[in-house]
Amino acid sequence: MKIAIAGAGAMGCSYGHMLKQAGNDVVLLDNWEDHVNKINESGLKVNEVGQEKVTYIKAYKPSDYHEKVDLVIVFTKSLQLNSFLQQIKHLLTEDTKVLCLLNGLGHIETLSQYTHKENIYMGVTVVTARFTNVNEPANVSFSSYGKTEIENVVSSKEAERFGKLIAQTINDSGLPCEFVDNIYWSIWRKACLNGCMNSLCTILDSNMLDLGKINNIEYIINSVIKEFAAIASTEGISLDIDEMTKFVMSFTAETFSGAKHFPSMHQDLIRNHRLTEVDYLNGYVSRRGKELNIPTPFNDLITVLVHGKEYLLQAK
Ligand code: NAD
């Protein structure tokens, strides 16, 4: 399959590397010029679950690439999605499929401005990746072969056939991938987890273990989740608030091996002073709440505080 990865950050490079290694025709598209140049000059270094590898893969600035592809996998940060799609709209022909693996809510609306809904596939992944050294181009690491789930947005036999082909292609590359029938629920569940862990750990400058030890934090988390569930239900998604609270709290437990980790939003904002995806997590709930006349005071406050921290740290 001919695949363009649109947004070749830590995740895009990790998926690009795996898909290329498995024999697919893959190109990376990105706006970070030094990253693009270094990948073309000396290859992409990837620490693949502890193994050091180099993949020779072509990288381009989005506006410089014009070949027809079967599939575009978008992997920008949420706030870059619209402008990136604008830069690659020449690639989005009538039959080009687009798989979106970004975290967050509201992306279908953005994608639909550039392609038919019939071409859109949504997914979630539990792979975690990072640039091995911040600001060093062409060098990424990912630590596990986590599962990816995908599904088509519009129901049709053809969309299902191609969705299964995408899932098979990712799976064959060594990243387990399942074609599912409840992707919206998975997207909301992950957004809810991120809207609690990422945002609260960022505001409090805390890892997940310490967050869990804060007096009454379960009440706050439960209240955030109730608001996510209220908005999700308006989109036909049912989130079980008690189950979701237990799920989120399990990330703060001593028994969870990753509990001492700082979530990615913390790393982006507190460590690297980069803008966050809060508008696609708590900010989405807050915005939809206002539009639908549903009170979302906890998510309103969290959104303001994260943006406040972005302002104070002059995040870019
Ligand atoms: P990323 O920050 O690694 O890359 C996003 C974009 O920022 C890329 O275009 C990249 O080139 C650019 N960028 C990064 N560092 C830069 C620098 N120093 N200078 C200039 N440009 C730079 O983003 P990501 O972690 O790959 O995340 C992409 C999407 O996947 C997001 O929606 C994220 O929430 C989601 N996601 C990430 C992970 C993870 O573990 N990283 C896991 C699941 C989902």
Q: Are strands 2-6 and 25-29 parallel, antiparallel or unpaired?
A: parallel
Pocket of ligand 1 contains residue 38 by CB under 6 Å: no
Q: Which atom of ligand 1 is nearest to the CA of 78?
A: 32
CATH of region 184-313? 1.10.1040.10
The question of whether 53 is a catalytic residue gets the answer: no
Query: What ipTM was reported for this prediction?
Result: 0.99
Pocket of ligand 1 contains residue 123 by CB under 6 Å: no
Pocket of ligand 1 contains residue 286 by CB under 6 Å: no
Mean per-residue pLDDT of the chain: 97
Q: Which atom of ligand 1 is nearest to the CA of 14?
A: 26
Distance 11 CA to ligand 1 centre (A): 6
Domain boundaries, the chain: 2-181, 184-313
State the Cα–Cα distance between residues 162 and 119, nearest whole angstrom. 10
In three-state form (DSSP H/G/I as H, E/B as E, the rest C), the secondary structure along 29-98 is: ECCCHHHHHHHHHHCEEEEECCEEEEECCEEECHHHCCCCCCEEEECCCHHHHHHHHHHCHHHCCCCCEE
Choose, from 38, 77, 97, 190, the residue flagged as catalytic: 190
- Which listed CATH number (3.20.20.105, 3.40.50.720, 3.30.450.40, 3.30.499.10) goes with 2-181? 3.40.50.720
The residue whose CA is least distant from atom 8 of ligand 1 is: 9
In this chain, the answer to whether the domains covering 2-181 and 184-313 adopt an identical fold is: no
Pocket of ligand 1 contains residue 137 by CB under 6 Å: no
pLDDT tens digits for range 155-207: 999 999 999 999 999 999 999 999 999 999 999 999 999 999 999 999 999 99
Is the pTM higher than 0.80?
Answer: yes
Q: How confident is the model at residue 264 (pLDDT cuts 50, 70, 90)?
A: very high
Share of the chain above pLDDT 90, in %: 100
Enumerate the β-bridge partners of residue 6: 29, 74
